A = this chain, B = another copy of it.
Amino acid sequence: MNVMHHDTQFAAQDIYPTRLADAEKRMPRQDPVIWSDWSDDAPITRDEAAGYERDGYLIRRDLFTADEVRSLIAASADIRADASAIRAEDLVTEPGTDAVRTIFRLDDHSDIFARLARDARLAETARFLLGDEVYLHQSRLNYKPGFTGKEFYWHSDFETWHAEDGMPRMRAVSASVLLTDNSALNGPLMLIPGSHREFIACKGETPADNHKSSLKKQEIGVPSREILESLATQHGLDAATGSAGTVIFFECNTLHASNGNVTPFPRSNAFFVYNAVSNAVQAPFAAPRPRPAFLSHRGRIEPLKIHRDSLA
């Protein structure tokens, strides 16, 4: 058992200061990208590990059977169809409508998604990448509708998790399991390959309850246009496309965004953030108080128990 006791004190050391009063600042990453040494036993190939190290993300296809993917899609439809049963704080709707955009604490709302989070095909890879036992920092179901899906602006998840949740180091990874086919045209996840190797300390202090607006439209904790243009020109842009069932692992500091979607084709995914147990959140590094539990699990931390049988 590992009960957190840092919530009421400021972290002793902050190697990634951000939300600066005067100006944004670029600094090199201080942490490894992969926290394990690769060996033949690793859950990903040597090339995949090298790609993740270089780019900050890894796309894996055909990890799940067609039956498993069908079961996940059906479960996600059931959850969205009965969103009235979801507690209000876990639910985000499209601006101006009551269409479901995000359901947080997905693993609380669904057995199969709780099971998916603990599946070896995700969690074992997370353990390898982070070199530690892992727990879920956040989980959610994302649904971007066709015709009216809105954009998400460029950001590093780590910058927010560090500033507002108190995550000390870059030792977390997200796994996005696609529940619809994603083409370059229906608002896929876009990434700047290599951007994870720099920390962009952002300008501007964090307002109280920043998450209430940042979930709809992020304005604090985003790099300037000048830096984004410079990074995208240097590294290029990539879109994480693939058919339903594809899994995108992306490092917590990789800059990403997505465009809106006027195509008729919705975009949905299940999203799990794995954090190293040794990297559990403390007091926020740059916010008056921690974000609520649906965004950042805190308190009792238990390593995920990994399952190896079939999902469906």
Q: A185-B259, A259-B259 are known contacts. Are A228 and B154 too (CB-CB below 8 A)?
A: no
Which B residues lie within 8 Å of A183 (CB)? Answer: 184, 237
Annotate A111-127 by CB proximity to B: 1 below 8 A, 0 otherwise.
Answer: 00000000000000000
Which B residues lie within 8 Å of A147 (CB)? Answer: 153, 225, 228
Q: Smallest distance from the beta carbon of A24 to chain B beta carbons, Å? A: 16
CA distance A259 to B150 in the complex (A): 10
| A265 within 8 Å of B (CB atoms) | yes
Contact A146 B229 (CB under 8 A): yes
Which B residues lie within 8 Å of A185 (CB)? Answer: 184, 190, 237, 239, 259
Annotate A231-271 by CB proximity to B: 1 below 8 A, 0 otherwise.
Answer: 01100010100000000000000000111111111000000
Q: Smallest distance from the beta carbon of A43 to chain B beta carbons, Å? A: 30
Closest to A190 in B: B185
- In the complex, how many residues of chain A place their beta carbon closer than 8 angstroms to a beta carbon of chain B? 27
Which B residues lie within 8 Å of A194 (CB)? Answer: none
Which B residues lie within 8 Å of A190 (CB)? Answer: 185, 262-263
Which B residues lie within 8 Å of A153 (CB)? Answer: 147, 262
Which B residues lie within 8 Å of A264 (CB)? Answer: 225, 228-229, 232-233
Closest to A152 in B: B262
Contact A260 B260 (CB under 8 A): yes
CA distance A257 to B146 in the complex (A): 13
Closest to A227 in B: B264
| A284 within 8 Å of B (CB atoms) | no
Which B residues lie within 8 Å of A261 (CB)? Answer: 259
Closest to A238 in B: B185
10 more contacts with CB within 8 A, not counting A185-B190, A187-B259, A232-B265, are A147-B225, A151-B260, A185-B239, A190-B263, A228-B264, A232-B263, A233-B264, A237-B263, A257-B262, A259-B262
Can you sample 19 A-B contacts with CB below 8 Å?
A146-B225, A147-B153, A147-B225, A147-B228, A151-B262, A153-B262, A183-B237, A185-B239, A185-B259, A225-B264, A229-B264, A232-B263, A232-B264, A232-B265, A233-B264, A237-B265, A257-B263, A258-B262, A259-B259
